[in-house]
Structure 1
Amino acid sequence: MFLGRKEELSELENLYRMKKSSLIVLYGRRRIGKSSLIHEFCKNKHSHTFEGLEGEKTPAQIKHFCESLKEQLSDPMLHDTKFSTWHAVFAYITLKVSENKKIILFFDEFQWLAAGQSKLVSLIKYFWDNEWKKKNVMLILCGSIASFMINKVIKSKALYGRINFEIHLKGLKSFEAFEMLRKKRSIDETMRYLLTLGSVPKYLEEIDLSKSFEQNIERLCFNSKGIMVREFDRIFYNQFKEAKNYLAIIKYIKDKIRSKKEISENVKIKSGGGLKLYLDNLEIAGFVKSYIPFKYQKNSKLKKYRLSDNYLSFYFEYIEPNLESIVDYEIKGIYQARIKSSMNIWLGFSFERFCLTNANIISRIMGFESQVTGISPYFERKNERFQIDLIYTRSDKVITICEIKFQVNEISTKVIPEVERKCKLIKIPKGFTIEKALISRFGPDNSLRDADYFHHYVSVNDIFDEKYYT
């Protein structure tokens, strides 16, 4: 079932309707729905799809590409012709392209087609400039290794100024995830899936709508045949060549926000260009997010990093420590026996991570999205215990301090002293006003609302309201 992606489909349709060629680059992590998006877009259109083979060298890529050509084109010539170079393949494709009819060429898993090198990008530049650009071609280059797609394709000198549209495809919006579950599970249960598995369409497709959250997590994550048990290996080792160093960084920041200096000292990688490259690639891949401390500039050396992927966090916290029991001994009931008792606390931390990732939507709900100039957790070097979950700096001289709670009940007035203490400790610029916001699972109870303490309230129901996404 395909749903969502309305903005991306609309932009692609606009480009398709134009009577000229266009070059699109699409990237995003595995399972995020890149191929599904393009297949949906290509329905009832003249298109050809070619997919790269993971780990294969150029000759094997060309051979597979040509097999796809034979399947999609009824040309007897292809049965008697063997292409040995990409130049010959593209020259043949050029002969089949008509100036009078729009054609979509979709190169999926492009980083594998290119065998991890930039030579194919340069050749595409040649054919684009000299042939395809003049022939009403819509060329879509799609890849799951973000660092390659950004550094070797988008930022390449060969394609500079030629790309018409870039799509960094991310997870589904909250309300789309609810629709994907066909509204058969509650909003609260859907949120728990997002906090545990993330908003990756493929993962949500695996949910059995006749079973509860606990039953599904047991089946998907703590069963030897569960899809999420080995998913870490598929998405992580596919993304990085030097996986050992990336894994060391991820494991060090999985529980706590860390500075580059702290990471360097722990994983024994110099904090210069080497570590920066690792951190940049992790951030490009969507596994890690960096934050600038409140009141500091973007190039601040105080920048800190934290794990941003909910599934990876759940994997390291619960799946990896139990892998032997899950895979080797096939022990049943691990979730109930070992996980459930601590799950609510872990969901609280995951909800904080979710709110930081969705901070723009939350500011829209509170009505000041256009005034936001900075988004970050608040932390201090001298006092690591003092932290504010989320803080907005605004152009209208307001600092909005957010308290984030994922409790099973409505929030009572007991939260007020805790927030008051934080407000007194934070140092704000002169002339600024502090506003206080509560972001929670079920909102405030009557006593807290009557206390008129917070300026803003955001509940999970608000985050799932479609009107804030249009």
Structure 2
Amino acid sequence: MVFEISGLYNGNMNDQIRNFTHEIHRRDRGLKSESPLDWLAAFSLLETYLNKLKKPGKKVIFIDEFPWIATARSKFLMAFENFWNHYCTKRKDLIVVICGSAASYMIQKIIKNKGGLHNRITRQIRLLPFTLGETQQFLKSRGIDYTLYDITQIYMAMGGVPHYLEKLSKGASVAQNIDRLCFEKDGTLRTEFNQLYASLFDDSEKHLTIIKTLANSNKGITRLQLAGQSGIASGGDLSLKLEELIESGFISEYPYYGNKKQLTLYRLSDEYSKFYLKFIQNNRNSGSGTWQKLYKSSSFVSWAGFSFETLCLKHISQIKKALRIDAIFSTNSSWFNDVAQIDLLINRDDNIMNQCEIKFYNTPFTIDKRYYLNLKHKTAALQQATQTRKNIFITMITTFGLNTNKYSNELVQNNIKLEDLFAD
């Protein structure tokens, strides 16, 4: 690491240049120069410093919070493009790493750059939240040894975001931790929601409108429905906002069986946002003990069921591994009509479809006569609508497995439990 800099939040151009220059002088105290007045001069100074590094081996230049440095009318991006194209590409020993939390800037100005950085990206790293298994490992490394069920509840409330997970206190229950972080006066997640979107996106009000619209639908809605319910016209602006939210992991796009584009579903997949809008927003002034009351309510049961579905859709690779079909080509989709809906349909190349039914319970799940008839009806509707000749295997994904009875024996071919979702 030969140069490392992080942008200053809300710093102006002069602040950013001084910070940049200070880092160069800190690493090379013998370098004498006038203070740069613009970014072209600042990068020229960086080149002077780099020219003095003669040791063999790769040399890393790391620029963090890149969008914060690129203040309005500063021409920072122009100067960086010039530095990359006319200096870095002539040296084979330099690796330049840039990153930033302002997702809209990174996507539009860097990844989709049509100027000097067009097609210049060597490798793109999309930093995703932890999986369930990674969350378990992270918590154990901090001395927190929850059960799989408890970790799942934590995940459904705040996702696999390390910045949130590291706030959990050892020795406190799940309910106590959620209470402290989300509902008490100084709780970290009590006021995080609005700050989060404002820091990530330009014109974040439209992003928030999309998020709040999707939060009202547990199963997801089509683009046409989203446009109508949000009031954002179904044009380029909506496409841009959807792309930014998808790339940043806040919403997910689920194709419809047969790849019918107009029936593609958009679904809020960020656990914290869903939890905030469902519980924190209207209860954040309720104080200590709020969550310990709420998680016993009927609204918790409804939220937990749909949140567990979202969680499972994020762990499809673990589901396929549990089914031992990870080596078989398959596609994942949703399917629905006026009378039935399947959130996860795995269409395999070995003449089988897995119709996945997802249930979150604190005990083994029992298929009673009513649910048995519902499953039969759903499978028949799927067969009739798709005209498939494939075998349809009903696959139950549950927390603690199934109670065996005549209904489960007749219908269920596969039973995936919580521990399967924690696999690598």
TM > 0.5 fold call: yes
Offset from partner CA, 1:164-191 (integer Å, 9 cap, x none): 2110010112222111111511121111
Match for residue 398 of structure 2 among 434, 440, 456: 440
Assess if the C-alpha contact under 8 Å between 1:50 and 1:107 holds in 2. Answer: yes
Between 1 and 2, higher relative CO (CA 8 Å, sep ≥ 6) is seen in 1
| Aligned residue in 2 for 1:92 | 45
| Aligned residue in 2 for 1:421 | 377
Unaligned regions of 5+ residues in structure 1, if any? 1-45
SS of alignment partner, residue 168 of structure 1 = coil
Shift of 1:120: 3.5
Distance 2:123 2:406 in 1: 47
Distance 2:199 2:161 in 1: 17
Match for residue 8 of structure 2 among 39, 53, 62: 53
Assess if the C-alpha contact under 8 Å between 1:118 and 1:152 holds in 2. Answer: no
| Aligned residue in 2 for 1:11 | none
1:282-431 to 2 correspondence within 5 Å? Answer: 282-297=245-260, 300-323=261-284, 325-326=285-286, 331-341=287-297, 342-380=299-337, 383=338, 386-414=340-368, 415-426=371-382, 427-431=385-389
Question: Which stretch has the larger CA shift, 115-124 or 188-197?
Answer: 115-124
Question: Which stretch has the larger CA shift, 175-184 or 92-101?
Answer: 92-101
TM-score when scaled to structure 1?
0.81
Q: State the identity as a percent.
A: 28
What letter matches 2:97 in structure 1? I
Task: Indicate yes or no: 2:115 matched with 1:115.
Answer: no
What letter matches 1:303 in structure 2? T
SS of alignment partner, residue 179 of structure 1 = helix
Which contiguous aligned blocks of 4+ residues in structure 1 show a shift greater than 4 angstroms? 116-119
| Aligned residue in 2 for 1:246 | 207
Assess if the C-alpha contact under 8 Å between 1:208 and 1:216 holds in 2. Answer: yes
Shift of 1:379: 2.2
Question: Which stretch has the larger CA shift, 447-456 or 134-143?
Answer: 447-456
Shift of 1:337: 3.3
SS of alignment partner, residue 395 of structure 2 = strand
Shift of 1:372: 4.6
Question: Which stretch has the larger CA shift, 182-191 or 215-224?
Answer: 182-191
Distance 1:77 1:450 in 2: 76
Task: Indicate yes or no: 2:81 matched with 1:125.
Answer: yes
Unaligned regions of 5+ residues in structure 2, if any? none
Distance 1:311 1:200 in 2: 9
Shift of 1:115: 2.5
Distance 1:123 1:373 in 2: 46
Count residues with an aligned counterpart.
Answer: 409
Cα 1:340/1:372, change in 2 over 3 Å: farther
Shift of 1:412: 2.5
| Aligned residue in 1 for 2:109 | 152
Cα 1:144/1:399, change in 2 over 3 Å: same
SS of alignment partner, residue 400 of structure 2 = coil
| Aligned residue in 2 for 1:233 | 194
Task: Indicate yes or no: 2:122 matched with 1:164.
Answer: yes
What letter matches 2:152 in structure 1? M
What letter matches 1:200 in structure 2? V
Shift of 1:442: 1.0
Distance 1:156 1:429 in 2: 45
Shift of 1:332: 3.0
RMSD: 2.3
| Aligned residue in 1 for 2:411 | 453
TM-score when scaled to structure 2?
0.89
Cα 1:372/1:119, change in 2 over 3 Å: farther
Shift of 1:352: 0.3
Question: Which stretch has the larger CA shift, 119-128 or 429-438?
Answer: 119-128
Assess if the C-alpha contact under 8 Å between 1:411 and 1:448 holds in 2. Answer: no
Shift of 1:119: 4.6
Assess if the C-alpha contact under 8 Å between 1:100 and 1:136 holds in 2. Answer: no
What letter matches 1:263 in structure 2? L
What letter matches 2:69 in structure 1? L
| Aligned residue in 1 for 2:184 | 223
Distance 2:122 2:317 in 1: 26
| Aligned residue in 2 for 1:65 | 20
Shift of 1:242: 1.7
Shift of 1:314: 0.3
